[in-house]
Structure 1
Amino acid sequence: MTLLGHDRYCDEVVGQTDLLRSHLAGADLSVTVPTCPDWTLRQLAVHVGEAHRWAEHIVRTRATKNVPVEQVADFDGPEDDDPAALDAWLVEGAEKAAETFRAAGAGTAAWSWAWEHTAGFWARRMAHETVIHRADAAIAAGVTYEVAPELAADAIDEWLQIVRFAQEKYPDAAAQELRGAGRSIHLHATDAEPGLDAEWLIEFDDKGVDWRRGHEKATVALRGPLTSVLLAFYRRLPLDSPEVEVLGERELLEFWLERATFG
């Protein structure tokens, strides 16, 4: 696994937020987000902006423990429903987060809930937080969603790390059920650019899951354009979508998707 670089992640926090804003422009912010049905489109946007401000606060203050989001200034967005105010609030939060992450440097210590406690972790996490929720916004707004191939591939890598971390850290996590040697999942991007290794083998083991990039046979395969594979793997695209193809034991892939959840 090769990370994209700290500066790239910082850039993407702003760039992906700009694309998110473009999805929101002119949209009905009161509609329910199909892929996050507990939220309206406005609530989704506020969630992203809140995450940016929370992570920025953690890195800027060099926090050594969790910080309740209520302690973060202006975390809950504009008081009124003015789309222009929401737009400005999103811009401010993303730019401030990227500036703080960049100034701190990737290796600077800062609390996190995960396997790495650095500003670099937060830059990467906020980049992909925005990448995936931007897909939610695009789906809700009915607009086209595209993401750079190397960013999509890195988002899959990060998700696999999160699932394995949940297995190691949380005894009650649904991901604990993703065990048992002899089963495997192959993700295959059919439109990968030259030089981008956009295939994964995910292997189940009695100790948890492991993965590597590469083309290998598996119990079940998920094939399609890289963006579609990303969205299906994040449960943003149904497996019966014409954009992806499932080969082999579909039940295993469904088993994974039901249990590989965030938090």
Structure 2
Amino acid sequence: MTRLAHDRYCDEIADQVGRLRAVVASGADLSAMVPTCPDWSLEYLVRHMGGALRWVELLVRTRAQEEIPEDKVELAHGPEAKGDPAALDAWLAETGEMVLAALREAGPDTKVWAWAGIHTSGFWARRMTHELTVHRADATLAAGLPYDVAPEVAADAIDEWLEIIEFVQRTMPHDAATELRGPGRSIHLHATDTTPEVNAEWVIELGEEGVTWRRGHEKATVALRGRLTDVLLAFYRRLPLDSPRLEVLGERELLEFWLERATFD
């Protein structure tokens, strides 16, 4: 599957950081709990996301060839002051500038350690794009704000999630994802607002040898239909299947089985 260009991922990281900063600056209650991340407050979520970006910045800038411990990352947990939106925003702004400088300077093909078998700086540009895409959705839910994402980014986020599932099945035999193996079952994700430029339909087959998938429109055991943004959120377990914005056709139990086991994030 064709991925987005490296510069496009970098541009999206810049945009997503800006939108996350807007949530912080919106007057939202930083102590509010995040409904889609149990036990996380909005402030904790922002600090978690910024810390991940700073960790990636250090990996890419130093061309790390092995994992770097979190305690080696400067200001990984955010500013010392708690409950201070101005301090949190300034830290997040600096964080965004740092990681973008490292990713743009490295380009997509610089060799850098990564956990999913793709040891390049380009892996991290894509991974942070979608980490931000999903966690910004968490933040907007906690703040009661609207959420949207560019169609090509949403579609690529689903592609990446499916690739991660394939990787986990190959390399982590005891993970819950291995339970997704089985004969003759399939899932169809159908974005109702798909366009010729973004073919946002997927067929996922749960075979004896593991999960396989492709973009396309085919009859399946169960289908999930809705706007692309809503399909993305449901697939990442950020929108319940009984939402009026979604339609489930066929064996709903299979889709629930999938969502229960594709839990690594």
TM-score interval (norm. to shorter): over 0.9
Letter paired with 1:21: R
**Whole-angstrom CA distance in 1 between matches of 2:24 and 2:36:** 16
**Whole-angstrom CA distance in 1 between matches of 2:264 and 2:122:** 20
Q: Residues 24 and 88 of structure 2 are in contact (CA less than 8 Å); yes or no, is this contact kept in structure 1?
A: no
Q: Offset at 1:259? A: 0.3
Matching of residues 41-120 of structure 1 within 5 Å = 41-81=42-82, 82-120=84-122
**Counterpart residue number, 1:11:** 11
- Secondary structure of 2:39's aligned partner: strand
1:194-232 Cα shifts (integer Å, max 9, x gaps): 321100000011111010000001000000000000000
**Counterpart residue number, 2:39:** 38
Matching of residues 204-215 of structure 1 within 5 Å = 204-215=206-217
Gaps of 5+ in 2: none
**Whole-angstrom CA distance in 1 between matches of 2:65 and 2:115:** 11
1:78-134 Cα shifts (integer Å, max 9, x gaps): 000211010011111112111101101100000011120100000000011000000
Matching of residues 175-254 of structure 1 within 5 Å = 175-254=177-256
Gaps of 5+ in 1: none
**Counterpart residue number, 2:135:** 133
**Whole-angstrom CA distance in 2 between matches of 1:165 and 1:55:** 20
**Whole-angstrom CA distance in 1 between matches of 2:93 and 2:80:** 16
Letter paired with 1:140: A
Please list every run of at least 4 consecutive aligned residues from structure 1 whose deviation after the TM superposition is greater than 3 angstroms: none
1:9-38 Cα shifts (integer Å, max 9, x gaps): 111111101111112221000011000012
> What percentage of residue pairs aligned between the two structures are identical?
65
1:116-169 Cα shifts (integer Å, max 9, x gaps): 010000000001100000000000000100000000000000000111111111
**Whole-angstrom CA distance in 1 between matches of 2:167 and 2:130:** 17
Q: Offset at 1:243? A: 0.5
Instruction: Report how many aligned residue pairs link the two structures.
Output: 263
- 1:259 aligned residue (251, 258, 261): 261
Q: Residues 10 and 99 of structure 1 are in contact (CA less than 8 Å); yes or no, is this contact kept in structure 2?
A: no
Q: TM-score, normalised by structure 2?
A: 0.98
- Secondary structure of 2:223's aligned partner: strand
- 1:147 aligned residue (141, 146, 149): 149
1:123 paired with 2:125, answer: yes
- Secondary structure of 1:201's aligned partner: strand
Letter paired with 1:17: V
Letter paired with 1:247: L
**Whole-angstrom CA distance in 1 between matches of 2:126 and 2:150:** 15
Letter paired with 1:40: S
Letter paired with 1:10: C
1:24 paired with 2:24, answer: yes
- Secondary structure of 1:36's aligned partner: coil
**Whole-angstrom CA distance in 2 between matches of 1:200 and 1:4:** 18
- Secondary structure of 2:213's aligned partner: strand
